[in-house]
Amino acid sequence: MSRPKLDGTALDLFARRPTRSFMTQLSFIDAATMKPDGEVAGYRPRQVVELCGASDAPTTRVLEHVVVSFITKRCKAHAKLPQERVFIFDHEYQVSVDRIEALVARNLAARQQDEAVREALSRVQMCHCRDSFQWLATLNHLHYELLDAPTARTLKWEKRVEV
């Protein structure tokens, strides 16, 4: 009897796993993901995007809309919220949790609103850092927190022995 051969590592499997993009629902932001054929691809997980603007531009409000679009992205098609997390580093104390909560509530259907809003907001972590040392300590803490967190659902397998 031949044994099955391994064809890759767990990291290879994770890298091959399909990812879903998401749209921010802000046309001027989503336009940046347009392919040459005119199709808008959306943003992929772990993609880094820098949003720049003049000092009077509402970049914080745009960020709040993008965060809400991300944490509620599958709610319109499915009843279950996604499990992705968002970390916001707000050094200028301009991001408003109340505005994010109102935007989440507006994006969700009324029947699932209260519990879903609480669950969605539980995955948003706001980090306020006074200086570079606190910012470095926060990044270090998040690094180890994310190393300990599961990256995907865990399969539990029990073997029962009856006597």
- What is the C-alpha separation between 73 and 76, in angstroms, rounded? 7
- What is the C-alpha separation between 85 and 123, in angstroms, rounded? 5
pLDDT at 16: 57
pTM of the model: 0.59
pLDDT at 74: 59
Strand (E) or helix (H) holding 141: helix 132-148
Q: How far is CA 34 from CA 72, 80, 162, in A?
A: 22, 28, 59
pLDDT at 3: 65
Q: Which amino acid, 57?
A: A
Per-residue pLDDT of the chain (163 residues; tens, 9 = 90+): 566 665 656 556 555 555 666 677 777 777 777 777 877 777 766 666 677 777 777 888 888 888 888 777 754 445 565 667 788 887 778 888 888 888 888 877 655 677 777 777 887 878 888 888 888 888 888 888 777 766 543 333 433 344 4
Going from N- to C-terminal start, the domains of the chain cover 59-140
- What is the C-alpha separation between 41 and 31, in angstroms, rounded? 9
Among 50, 7, 54, which Cα is nearest to 29's?
A: 50
Give me the residues paired with residue 127 across strands. Answer: 89
Among 83, 82, 81, 64, which Cα is nearest to 24's?
A: 64
Q: Say if CB 67 and CB 100 are below 8 A apart.
A: yes
